Chains A and B, each alone.
Chain A
Amino acid sequence: MSDHAPDATHASGVAKTYARRRWYRSRDAVTSHTPDATTHVPGFVKKYLWSTDHKTIGLQYMLTGMAMALIGAFAAYVFRMQAAFPGASVPLFGRVAAADYNYLVTMHGTIMIFWVAMPVLLGGFGNYLIPLMLGCDDMVFPRVNRLSYQVFFLSSVVLLASFFVPGGAFGGAWTAYPPLSANSAYSMTPFGSTLWLLAVALEFVAFLLIVIAAVLFMGSVGPLVAGAVMLLLDQVVGTGFYDPARGGDPVLWQHLFWFFGHPEVYVLLLPAMGVVAEVMVVFARKKLFAYRTIVYSAVATGIISFFVWAHHQFVAGIDPRMASLFSLTTLIISIPVAEMFFVYIATLYGGSIRLTTPMLWALAFVAEFLIGGVTGIFLGSAGSDIYFHDTYFVVAHFHYTFFPIAFIAGFAGITFWFPKMFGRMMNETWGKVHFWGTIIAFNICFIPLFITGTAGDHRRIFDYAMFAQLATPEMQSLRILATRALLVTLAFQVVFIANFVYSMFRGAIADANPWKANTLEWLAPSPPPHGNFATMPVVYRGPYEYCVPNRAEDYWPQHEPGGDIAELGAPGGRRPVQQGI
């Protein structure tokens, strides 16, 4: 958004631009907007399959992501049962063979990252909320947006189909390192690996099409697309890009994958942080502390995230001098991220905190991601990573970052914006039951894995009986504890699903602004019609004006006229002095 004053040169430049463009068809001129819903009721196909409404597409992304999460969770359940009780028949699955274990682990990782975290956070929240928060009627390319979901849906179908091809789904881990991925003699999944690659490639295309998916994602995914083309040729045509015997280099894939993979962490972290910030200010009834610091930290995180990828290759044979460089950048990136967390804690300080379900999730995000961040220091330092690499310590660290990102922030967002999306409130009591059940069980599930990882548990072992020093009763009891806690975590998701479905149809009716929040999405009716706002809203102040002194209400919506606009410097203005509460 441009905030510089319209000086003379700028104005004449604009006039010139428009004069030059008179030959545009009149269709391109700004036309007055009438919400579709009032003029005619579209049929099922038009309404759901071909809708260009960002809210329909956003919800489709979100619900598809949630459905895929069930499949990813089922995979986790099966392979954790095998890890805890090797050789036992797993209820609803049967005996887990070594090949099954490989594909279940691979599919769990792939699905949870690419088909859950990305669609829910970017495709779901991003699509649904960004136009509403900006006061727009839709995304900038509505039809491309629609196409993106269709491609995404196709990619989900391809991925799910790969479970049923001869040899089964891809079993070379979600990072698809060659030669496991390039040569089916190693992964033993000749069709699965190609379908996996095809599905992931389609999924990337879908996300390239959602224009909200940020410069960060676009900048990082390109080399991986190139890498995927090479991997596909290795698999199908028989080239040797990643085959050292023919002059290729398997580490090249690791570079291309993680050049995408690590910025991807922040592509997903930043929306999650945004969700948490939005929820926090509303339930702390306090202005976001140091807004600019958050913006600059987010930009800094994004830039630095392009220079940390090789910390995944400390033991892959990269130059040790490079290892110390990447250790340094990895430790540096924790500074802006930590800064954002300090700012969040400062926002809470002195606020009038309401412990609603979304707020509990937001607070839990800060607490849990902190553990993920701190354990990341051990892995980012090349020296300690040589020991920790590929152990369950990495697995536990990863889940302390991605469970908060995908699920804790996801639940915070869903419980917070549910009234906007469906016009009904979710049940608070069951929401809290779900929260405590999930959070406690989640910690009991992953803290033991830090311990087993430190004791040397390698992350890709199908049956520990083959390794005497790892197959001790103490280690096995920790694995069983983790698996039992996982079962409890999964059981509590039933509470969420029941609450979600019940509230969708039977929950208390929500008005447009049930949380008494300031931002523009709460101006639109719940749920908003196609076109969102009856008239385009005018913004009078910044989004976080809570508990402004000398006001009767403790919130001050952005669209409400009043106050000294010049002082606030609208739009998106700030008060010159931090007012506190």
Chain B
Amino acid sequence: MTTTIAATRSVTEIPTGRLGVWWVLVSEIVIFGGLIGAYVMHRIGHPEWAGQAIHTNIWAGGFNTFVLLTSSLSAVLAHQAAERGDGKRAARLLRLTAAGGAVFLTVKAFEWTAEITSGFTIGSNLFWSFYYTAAGLHALHVLAGMVILLFVAATAAKNLELHRVENIGIYWHFVDIVWIFLFPLLYIAK
């Protein structure tokens, strides 16, 4: 199979794979931006939502914030290992990052179960609609990130396609940053 030149040569000096990741991220920013913007506008118009927000579990959210941010550290270390050409170490660190995502989702599962059984469902109030929609969309991104992390780790372990380690890292940092916006907006703002 022939490789097209346009697919590998980049006038911007940025490798095309990384350029693609940034392209995805910019389109993600406007998606989350629209959702968060809509939420903030509603929240300003509805100060009484504070009475609903008080029922969110700030400790679970805080713990998850800690786990997710820490998981990015191993993504950075994986990138460093890949730069040195140590694919095996990069793969181990990527799997560690994916494990961080798994912890995040597990905590979230218990948290949501508690909230839903207490009667705070997606349809019960507009605050909870935004809560489940925004955090749910974010959780889907965490899940997708974990799948890609494990996929990249599998090839990196064979010392192949090491440039992908950085690309998935960029995506994972983005998932972190979205959560940094969601956590205060959904949990802390009372």
Contact = CB atoms under 8 A, between A and B. Distances in A.
B129 interface: yes
Interface in A210-242: 211, 215, 218-227, 229-230, 233, 237-241
B16 interface: yes
A240 B126 contact: yes
Give the one of B4, B35, B126 with max A CB within 10 A. Answer: B4
Interface stretch (B26-34, B95-103, B106-114, B176-184): B26-34
Interface string A137-163: 111111010000000000000000000
Interface stretch (B58-66, B144-152, B158-166): B158-166
B2 A140 contact: no
Given A33-B3, A33-B4, A229-B133, A2 B11 contact: yes
B129 A138 contact: no
A137 B16 CA distance: 15
Interface string A237-279: 1111100001111001000100100000000000000000000
Contacts of B29: 222
B8 A23 contact: no
Interface residues of A, number: 58
Contacts of B38: 223, 226-227, 230, 241, 252, 256
A91 to B, nearest CB: 45
A131 B5 CA distance: 11
A33 B125 CA distance: 59
Given A25-B161, A248-B126, A249-B42, A142 B7 contact: yes
A139 B137 contact: no
Contacts of B82: 23
A292 interface: no
B30 A138 contact: no
Contacts of A136: 5-6
Given A137-B6, A229-B133, A247-B46, A218 B31 contact: no
Given A219-B30, A256-B38, A141 B8 contact: no
A33 B30 contact: no
A223 B34 contact: yes
Given A23-B162, A136-B5, A237 B126 contact: no
B69 to A, nearest CB: 24
Contacts of B46: 247
B103 to A, nearest CB: 26
A222 B25 CA distance: 11
B158 to A, nearest CB: 11
B163 A24 contact: yes
B122 interface: yes
Contact of B6 (A31, A131, A144, A219): A131
Given A36-B2, A136-B5, A239 B162 contact: no
Interface string B1-29: 01111111111110110011001001111
Contact of A241 (B6, B16, B27, B126): B126
Interface in A483-536: 531, 536
A335 interface: no
A221 B29 CA distance: 11
14 contacts: A23-B85, A23-B163, A25-B162, A136-B6, A140-B6, A140-B19, A142-B6, A221-B30, A222-B33, A223-B34, A226-B38, A230-B129, A247-B126, A259-B34
Given A224-B34, A230-B129, 9 more contacts: A25-B160, A31-B5, A39-B2, A140-B16, A211-B23, A225-B31, A226-B35, A237-B122, A239-B133
For the complex of A and B, list the 6 residue pairs with the smallest distance between their C-beta atoms, beginning with the closest. Answer: A222-B30, A223-B34, A226-B34, A226-B35, A138-B4, A239-B129
